[in-house]
Structures are given as C-alpha cells and as structure tokens.
C-alpha cells in the first residue's frame, strides 16, 4: 500500500514531526484589534509576512501596538478581525494553550516563577507535554549549556539567586524547552545594563545561527533592532507599517521622514556596524615570502599596480608590510631588509569583524593598512580607509538602485518593503549571515 502523508493539522504535530527544521512562516492578514469600545484600533488592518527562520524586529514608539501585535500571534490577545497563520495553519483552529506550548515567549525581567528552581522553571512546558523525567532532566541541562549557564551550578538555584542577565538566560532556555519553531520576545533585554544587554544580544545571534527559529522581537531600541533584525518593521500608531526592510535598506534608504527621524542620524556610522569585512572587496597587497628577491617583488607590485607588499611566513601568516618607496633602492631577499617598527604587523582583524572594528584597528594601530586574516591567522587581504569608504558607498548605491528598480516596476515604497523576504531586497541586500 502506498504511504500517505498528510499535512500537519497543528503546531504540536508540526513540532513533533521535526520537519520544520528551524522556524515556520507567520502571516498576519488584515489583522485589527480594538480594546473595548474605544474608537482607535490598537492594531489597524495589519498585513505582514514573517519569513521562516528569520529575526523580525517590531520597532516603534510606545503605544503603537507592538505588544498587541505580538500577543495576537500566540493568542494571549484575540484579534477583533483578520487572520493569522503560523506554519500555514490558522492560529484560530488551534487550542490557545496547546498553541502556546509550541511558541516560546520571552518577556522583560524573564517572568520566572520565584518559588521554583531554575530546573523546574525550564521544565514547565516539557512537563505539560508529558515528557518522562529523564528526558526532562537531559533537556534542562542541554538548555542551560546552550544559554551559557553551567547546569551543576545553576539548575538548583532560585530566580532570586540569579543576576538579571542570568534570569534572562533562563527565560530564553525556558522558551526553547520544547524546541518551538517560533519565539516571541517582548523587550527581553530592556531592563538590563548596556554591557549585559549587548552580551545577551550576541548570545541570541549565536543561538539563532544554530537554531534558525522564526523570532519576532519587540524593542524600542534602534541599535538593538539594527543589530538583531534580519528585517525590521518600523511601525507607527495602530501598528501601521511605515517601512519593512533589511537594516541596510532602512539606513541607506529610509522610506520617509518618520523613519529617518526614528532611526536617527549617523546612518553611515550605523552601516559600518552592520557590514562585515568578509562581505566587502579587500585591497590586494602583493604577497611575498621572506626569501623572494626585492627586484622581483618590485616588478610584481608594478604589474599589479599595488603600493603594498605583505611578507608572509611559511604558514602564510602576515609578518610585515613593505611599501614601493621602501623597496626603491633595495636589493637581495626581501626578508633581509632592515625593517622599521612601523612596518611590523602587530594588529590583524578577522573577516567576521565589522567595518567599524576595522576603522578602529586602523586608527589604533596608526597604520594606513591592516591585514585581514582567516583561520590560523592566514592572510586573506587588507583593509584601508578607502576600502571602508568604498564599501559604504556601494551599499548605499545598491540600495538606491534596488529602490529605483522597484519604483520603476510601479510598486510603492511601503508596499514593497512590506513584502515577504523572497523579494530582491533580501536576496541582494539582506544576507547578514
Ligand atoms: N488591555 C488593554 N485595554 C485597553 N487598551 C489597551 C490595552 N492594552 C493596550 N492598550 C492600548 O493599545 C495601544 C497599543 O498598546 P501596546 O501595548 O500594544 O503598545 P506597544 O507599542 O507595545 O507599547 P510599549 O512600547 O509602550 O510597550 C495603546 O494605546 C494602549 O494604551
């Protein structure tokens, strides 16, 4: 008899099948919410697609409807009208309690139960799902490891025995307990000091690389949104989408004065923080080994129209720079030249560094050029200030071109930027992995 497969009927089934890999898409279709008989809708006719496996940030002023929007996804709030689908299934067709067991939810100040240990807090949903004791214990320890807390030290503690950052980590572990395809995070780091906040943001990005959940993240903080969001929805009163786009696109091409004001000035500086060295065209210095003859290096520099040569060791690690001027009257093996302090390479950056870190390295090392290295410190290229300048103008130019193309295709800025991630903007401008 042929095997029959039927589409999953609930999020529970989908999660149990384990076929969603990371996340599932969420669609909000003409969703509105009115509280009581007030005339103004808290959410007014919102339509948006949240692509599977991405972090989508809802960013907007206080009271614009971010929390209401998020809570309608897990049915803590019921829409007045419209439809929400999660993994292509209608949220209304599922029992709210069951739905919520498969949607992780993290709020400010973690919301842990104070009278329960860390382990019991994390174990809540697995217990409701009827997992056996051993499986729960294993899962609790695995999750504590995942969020960077040693299980032996932390599983027996009570929330009051944790710092704010640790509580928040436990909150994230609890939300991930049943491996839900969707995580809702409502200002989860809002109450933390800036340093803890930044380290938890880094942790979230690291986790997301591993887990690829669909994450809806609410914040007021523009820098947090730019750092975490694969896409950002900038909202005005009534959760009206003013722009829905990648951080790069929002910075390079704000859709309106409202967005520009909201994101604030210094958009080029913000782009420096978003762009990674590995994603830009690096300078080509001529590579040379210590035993190569100066005349030959000079010839290759002329041929390549390169002002710099980099001397590498036998593992291709950068040792020092030589400029054309340095080599002008020299002869013999390049490694035998007397080299000044200023030529020695002490500072290197990795491809994962941001352009902002590259600029800092250039300034701190007081060098015109800084090498970029890959694994085992192997030389892969070099960055100068003009590399950085060029990269930023290219991002801006690319975003302008994409916008012109869209406008020429007759699409309005808002409707296009609110389209699903399959649009060209994401393919060309949005890959931040
Ligand atoms: N239970 C409620 N009853 C009546 N009105 C409400 C209720 N909850 C929220 N509202 C109103 O709905 C609007 C949107 O509120 P919501 O909490 O979704 O905004 P928000 O963008 O998350 O705000 P904040 O950033 O301050 O948390 C606000 O005007 C708020 O006063």
- Provide ipTM, 2 decimals: 0.97
pLDDT in tens, 174-190: 988 888 899 999 998 88
Question: 39 CA to middle of ligand 1, Å?
Answer: 14
Report the nearest atom of ligand 1 relative to the CA of 58.
21
Question: 43 CA to middle of ligand 1, Å?
Answer: 9
pLDDT in tens, 240-254: 999 999 998 898 888
pLDDT at 392: 86
> Where does ligand 1 bind, in terms of residues with CB under 6 Å?
35, 42, 60, 62-68, 220
Under DSSP, the state recorded for 429 is: I
pLDDT in tens, 186-236: 998 887 788 888 888 888 888 888 888 999 999 988 889 999 999 999 999
Q: Hey, what are 24's tokens?
A: 């599932």
Cα 40–44–48 angle (5° rounding)? 165
> Which of the four pLDDT bands, split at 50, 70 and 90, describes residue 11?
low
Higher pLDDT among residues 357 and 430, named by residue = 357
**What percent of the chain stands above pLDDT 70?**
88
Question: 319 CA to middle of ligand 1, Å?
Answer: 59
**What percent of the chain stands above pLDDT 90?**
38
Question: 64 CA to middle of ligand 1, Å?
Answer: 7
pLDDT at 18: 53
pLDDT at 16: 59
The residue whose CA is least distant from atom 12 of ligand 1 is: 42
Question: 144 CA to middle of ligand 1, Å?
Answer: 33
Q: Which fold has domain 278-388?
A: CBS-domain (3.10.580)
- Which superfamily does 13-266 belong to? P-loop containing nucleotide triphosphate hydrolases (3.40.50.300)
Please say if the pLDDT value at position 289 is more than 70: yes
For a ligand 1 pocket test, name from 65, 237, 239 the mutation site with the most ligand atoms within 8 angstroms of its C-beta: 65
The residue whose CA is least distant from atom 16 of ligand 1 is: 65
pLDDT at 4: 46
Picking from 153, 101, 107, 156, the residue whose alpha carbon sits closest to that of residue 131 is: 101
The residue whose CA is least distant from atom 28 of ligand 1 is: 63
Residue intervals in the chain for CATH 3.10.580.10: 278-388
Residue intervals in the chain for CATH 3.40.50.300: 13-266
How much helix, strand and coil, in percent to the nearest 5, is found in the chain? 45, 20, 35
Distance CA 7, CA 201 (A): 35
pLDDT in tens, 30-81: 999 999 876 789 999 999 999 999 999 999 989 999 999 999 999 999 999 9
Q: HEC states along 362-428?
A: HHHHCCCEEEEECHHHCEEEEEEHHHHHHHHHHHHHHHHHHHHHHHHCCCCHHHHHCCCCCCHHHHH
Distance CA 220, CA 116 (A): 31
Distance CA 210, CA 142 (A): 14
The residue-averaged pLDDT of 16-24 equals: 62
Under DSSP, the state recorded for 160 is: G
Q: What is the mean pLDDT of the chain?
A: 84
Report the nearest atom of ligand 1 relative to the CA of 35.
4
**Which residues in 290-307 are b (16+ Cβ under 10 Å) and which e?**
eebebeebbeebeeeebb
Distance CA 350, CA 379 (A): 10
> Which of the four pLDDT bands, split at 50, 70 and 90, describes residue 10?
low
């Amino acid at each position: 008899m042929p095997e029959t497969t039927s589409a999953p009927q609930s999020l529970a089934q989908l999660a149990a099948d384990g076929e969603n890999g990371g996340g599932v898409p969420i669609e909000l279709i003409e969703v509105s919410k009115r509280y009581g008989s007030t005339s103004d809708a808290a959410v007014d006719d919102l339509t948006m697609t949240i692509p599977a496996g991405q972090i989508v940030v809802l960013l907007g002023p206080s009271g614009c409807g971010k929390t209401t929007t998020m809570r309608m996804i897990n049915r803590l709030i019921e829409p007045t009208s419209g439809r929400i689908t999660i993994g292509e299934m209608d949220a209304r067709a599922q029992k709210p309690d069951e739905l919520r067991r498969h949607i992780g939810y993290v709020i400010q100040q973690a919301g842990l139960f104070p009278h329960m240990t860390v382990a019991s807090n994390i174990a809540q949903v697995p217990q409701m799902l009827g997992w056996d004791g051993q499986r729960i214990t294993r899962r609790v320890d695995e999750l504590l490891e995942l969020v960077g807390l040693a299980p032996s030290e932390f599983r027996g503690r009570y929330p009051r025995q944790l710092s704010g950052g640790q509580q928040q980590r436990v909150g994230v572990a609890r939300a991930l307990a049943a491996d839900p395809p969707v995580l809702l995070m409502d200002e989860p780091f809002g109450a933390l000091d800036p340093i803890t906040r930044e380290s938890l943001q880094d942790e979230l990005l690291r986790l997301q690389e591993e887990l690829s959940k669909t994450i809806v993240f609410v914040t007021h903080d523009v820098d947090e949104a730019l750092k975490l969001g694969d896409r950002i929805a900038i909202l005005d009163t009534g959760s009206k989408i003013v722009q829905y786009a990648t951080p790069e696109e929002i910075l390079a091409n704000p859709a309106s004065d409202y967005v520009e004001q909201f994101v604030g000035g210094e958009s080029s500086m913000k782009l420096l923080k978003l762009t990674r060295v590995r994603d830009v065209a690096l300078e080509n210095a001529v590579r040379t080994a210590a035993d190569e003859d100066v005349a030959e290096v000079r010839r290759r520099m002329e041929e390549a129209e390169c002002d710099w040569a980099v001397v590498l060791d036998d593992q291709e690690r950068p040792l020092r720079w030589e400029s054309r001027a340095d080599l002008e009257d020299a002869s013999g093996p390049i490694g035998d030249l007397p080299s000044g302090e200023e030529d020695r390479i002490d500072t290197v950056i990795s491809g994962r560094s941001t352009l902002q870190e590259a600029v800092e390295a250039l300034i701190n090392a007081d060098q015109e050029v800084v090498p970029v290295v890959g694994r085992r410190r192997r030389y892969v290229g070099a960055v100068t200030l003009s590399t950085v300048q060029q990269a930023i103008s290219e991002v801006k130019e690319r975003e302008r071109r994409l916008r012109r193309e869209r406008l020429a295709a007759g699409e309005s800025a808002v409707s296009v930027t609110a389209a699903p991630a399959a649009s060209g903007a994401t393919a060309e401008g949005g890959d931040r992995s």
